[in-house]
Amino acid sequence: MTVSLRPNDLSAFWMPYTANRSFKANPRLLARADGMHYYTPEGREILDGTAGLWCVNAGHGRREIAEAIKRQADAMDFAPTFQMGHPLAFEAAAALAAFLPDHLPYVFWTNSGSEAADTALKIALAYHRARGEGHRVRLVGRERGYHGSGFGGMSVGGIVANRRQFGVHLPFVDHLPHTHLPQVNRFARGQPEHGAERADALEELVRLHGDTIAAVIVEPVAGSTGVLVPPKGYLAKLREICTRHGILLIFDEVITGFSRLGAPFAADRFGVRPDILTMAKGLTNAAVPMGAVAVTAEVHDAIVHGSASAIELFHGYTYSGHPLACAAAIAAIAIHREEDLAGRVRNLEPVWRARVHELDSATGVVDVRDIGLIAGIELAPREGRPGERGAAVLQRCFDWGLLVRVTADTVALSPPLIVERSQIDRMVETLDRAIRAEPS
């Protein structure tokens, strides 16, 4: 049976994280991409201020990645990795391990950040059971955290709207307080000065739950909840508390990984060593869906060498280590190395910071937060209508040729790392006009 949809028929696609009725009444469609730009079906140019969805870090249309995918597709479209293997799965893992912090030599392939988060939680539980500490069953997330849309990630996540609709969550989950303290950190440039003491809440949870906590999972920089930058010393303090109490520390680097913060990973930028690190998005430059979980030798060996079963970890996905995704990952990692995208971010960060903080004085702006090539511009919500101002600014920016991302009333910017200074200027100027055009 052949199904033919009219070009303007938008009904069949139930869109994720989208106001479907509103969108389909006034769609924003992207038909082509190249470098720093998208193009609408009509050919209108849209400057990409969000790297797609935090993921196209090396810019759109990278020929090296497309050619690597085509070569692999011509050679072999798929091979299983259950009790089988193919060369690129191992080659890609080695390339990624060499790009990761050197204390994380083992890689488990997934297909998304959501799968990576759920995989990391399962690995943490399996690790403790392998060591004879099966009583460690509690998982600790953080308020305003986002770890994907699987049941595990949703449960440890702390964005209320992502949890409210579904009711049922994993048991034995608790949350740390978030680190957003606008009363003392408003308009901080880079890491805020205040809030490291919020890590001490983990000590309170240890007192409450005893030695039943298996792992703590946090985003080094919380992105989807509105760009929350960690206070100075906060992550190091969290690491020290986890170490003292035998708790695994998981960094969710789906957004912060792959040079976004001026280092390969946030763990490098902040000098903090997680036991487990999750990633996706920039891993393949978003050319093919792929995620991964990296672990220390201690975590890997406890499970692989400590299991009496032939299959040490009863977990995986049909597309774990998909050949086309592996080809894309190898090519993307090579671009990061050869073009030193992390170094490029370090050079641009002072310029980026100065420009985005010019929005501090715009009418309706209540905070601006930044680190690396990320910025969050928080707008005052309209009374009784949260999110309305942010949605209006997003639409106006799109109409004026700029793609931004909005969480409630916070506008997020995270451009491809190939961005030029003139394009940073255009982003800030367009956003400034869009914000000032909004009625107060």
Supply the DSSP string of 70-125, one letter for each residue.
HHHHHH-S----SS---HHHHHHHHHHHHHS-TT--EEEEESSHHHHHHHHHHHHH
Residue 10 belongs to some domain of the structure: no
Where is the domain boundary, 291, 306, 338? Answer: 338
Same domain, 27 and 95: no
- What is the pTM (predicted TM-score) of this model? 0.97
Same domain, 351 and 288: no
Same domain, 238 and 362: no
Residue 168 belongs to some domain of the structure: yes
Supply the DSSP string of 22-35, one letter for each residue.
HHHHS-----EEEB
Rg (CA), the chain: 22
What is the residue range of 357's domain?
20-58+340-436
Where is the domain boundary, 282, 311, 338? Answer: 338
Same domain, 311 and 369: no
Residue-level pLDDT at 168: 83
Kind plus residue range of the DSSP H or E element containing 267: helix 266-270
Q: In what order do the strands lie in the sheet with 37-39?
A: 32-34, 37-39, 45-48, 402-403
Residue 241 belongs to some domain of the structure: yes
Supply the DSSP string of 423-438, one letter for each residue.
HHHHHHHHHHHHHHTS
Residue 4 belongs to some domain of the structure: no
Same domain, 213 and 311: yes
How do strand 402-403 and strand 45-48 relate by DSSP bridges? parallel
Same domain, 150 and 51: no
Q: Residue 237 maps to which CATH number? A: 3.40.640.10
Write down the residue that tokens 């090519």 correspond to. Answer: 331
- Could you give the 3-state DSSP secondary structure of residue 364? coil
Same domain, 33 and 78: no
Q: If you ran DSSP here, which 8-state letter would residue 272 be given?
A: -
Residue-level pLDDT at 6: 58
Mean pLDDT by 10 residues, the chain (440 residues): 64 94 94 97 97 98 98 98 98 98 98 98 98 98 96 95 88 97 97 98 98 98 96 98 98 98 98 98 98 98 92 97 98 98 98 98 95 98 92 97 96 98 98 91
Same domain, 131 and 270: yes
Residue 306 belongs to some domain of the structure: yes
In order of 21, 24, 188, 292, the CA distances from 18 in angstroms are 9, 10, 31, 26
Give the separation between CA 167 and CA 266, rounded to whole angstroms.
33
Residue of 74, 147, 73, 158 whose CA lies nearest to 116: 147
Where is the domain boundary, 305, 338, 371? Answer: 338
Phi, psi at residue 14, to the nearest 5°? -85, 105
Give the separation between CA 126 and CA 17, rounded to whole angstroms.
32
Residue 36 belongs to some domain of the structure: yes
Count Cβ atoms below 10 Å from residue 196 Cβ, excluding itself.
19
Same domain, 102 and 89: yes
Residue-level pLDDT at 162: 87
Residue-level pLDDT at 339: 98
User: How many domains is the chain partitioned into structurally?
Assistant: 2
Same domain, 132 and 263: yes
Supply the DSSP string of 158-226, one letter for each residue.
--HHHHHTT----SSEEEEPP---HHHHTT-SSS-SS-GGGGGHHHHHHHHHGGGEEEEEE-SSB-TTT
Kind plus residue range of the DSSP H or E element containing 235: helix 234-244
Give the separation between CA 417 and CA 374, rounded to whole angstroms.
10
Residue 5 belongs to some domain of the structure: no
For residues 111-135, b (16+ Cβ closer than 10 Å) or e, as one string?
bbbbbbbbbbbbbbbbbbbbeeeee
